[in-house]
Amino acid sequence: MNIIEIRKMSTKELTEQSAKLRDAIADQKRRLSLGELNDVRTVRKSRKDLARILTVLSEKINKEVS
């Protein structure tokens, strides 16, 4: 996911997307441990996307409070 796309999202969309990514990461880790997932990079990419979303979300929340 691109940072430009993330910055265009509302806070509600960001929270929904973060919840979806958390579930996806848990599923990917489970599949990785079972040997169903061969590409470790998908987990890494999802974690980085989640970090980007949480960063932008905290920036937006801090901006609204200030």
Domain boundaries, the chain: 3-65
pLDDT at residue number 66 = 80
Which residue, 5, 9, 22, 19, is CA-closest to 57?
A: 9
3-65: in CATH 2.115.10: no
What stretches in the chain show pLDDT beneath 70? none
CA 30 to chain centre: 17
**H or E stretch at 34:** helix 11-34
pLDDT at residue number 1 = 82
Please give the DSSP secondary-structure letter assigned to residue 60.
H
- Cβ-contact 54, 9 below 8 angstroms: no
One-letter identity of residue 4: I
Is pTM beyond 0.85? Reply is: yes
